[in-house]
Copies of this chain bind each other. A is one copy, B any other.
Amino acid sequence: MCSRTTRSGRTGRPRSAEADTAILDATRAALVDLGWSKLTMGDVATRAGVAKTTLYRRWGNKNELVVDAVAVLFDELELPDLGSLQADVEHVVLQFAALLERPETKTALMAVVAESTRDEPLRERIRTSIVERQKRLVLDGRRRAQERGELATDRDPETVAAVDDLIFDVIAGAVVHRALVSAEPVDRRWAERLSALLVGGLGAAADRG
């Protein structure tokens, strides 16, 4: 979050907390209606019933606003224990795919990533607001699989972290690529195949190592 709704300074009129949520809601609505490239700050301001100045007082530019508006959607992802690693992976794949189907995410996510290649602060904002926060899914899934005995527990911590990151990039990357680049549906069959590949690969590594 950028804006400081809590009183930082002493005097003057306090910022409206309602404005914050109204703006983020309006941003998501605009993303649905217009997509990222046609979304304008003026339009968001109008939808939110707020002056453009108020937007700029809280977010430096369009990209930061969009990241914040979209980030919260990723917090919906959760990982119920479905009894097996394979089932857990399948479930998270389908959940993530459903999220990417929503127009506000599908158009916004790639756009801000694209912008972030030339904008280090934006990249950092994406990492902290979205990426790092969702790594919890991988960590939980792996821990649970270890508890079930599906995965070995004796590896060194560095390798564990590297594999966690790898799995995260593979799952997230594969789903995004399938959905947005290949433009093919992420259905149960595909999710099964991906999960099987990963679980098999993890198992094979364990067998060898």
Q: Which A residues have a C-beta under 8 Å from some C-beta of B?
A: 35-38, 103, 106-111, 113-118, 123, 126-127, 131, 162-163, 165-166, 168-170, 172-178, 180-184, 189-190, 193-194, 196-205, 208
Contact A197:B202 (CB < 8 A) given known A170-B170, A181-B172: yes
Copies in the complex: 4
- A selection of 26 A-B contacts at a CB cut-off of 8 Å is A35-B118, A36-B114, A37-B115, A107-B117, A109-B114, A110-B114, A110-B117, A111-B115, A113-B114, A123-B183, A131-B182, A165-B184, A166-B193, A169-B174, A169-B178, A170-B170, A170-B174, A172-B177, A173-B175, A173-B177, A197-B201, A197-B205, A200-B200, A200-B201, A200-B202, A200-B205
Nearest opposing residue in chain B for A168, CB measure: B182
Shortest Cβ distance from residue A119 to the other chain B in the assembled complex, whole angstroms: 9
How distant is the Cα of A169 from the Cα of B190 in the complex, in angstroms? 11
Q: Point out the residues of chain B lying under 8 angstroms from A208, CB to CB.
A: 200
Q: Point out the residues of chain B lying under 8 angstroms from A183, CB to CB.
A: 116, 123, 127
Closest CB pairs A-B (n = 9): A200-B204, A173-B177, A173-B173, A201-B201, A110-B114, A197-B201, A111-B114, A35-B118, A200-B201
How distant is the Cα of A71 from the Cα of B131 in the complex, in angstroms? 28
Q: Point out the residues of chain B lying under 8 angstroms from A123, CB to CB.
A: 183
Nearest opposing residue in chain B for A193, CB measure: B166
How distant is the Cα of A109 from the Cα of B117 in the complex, in angstroms? 11
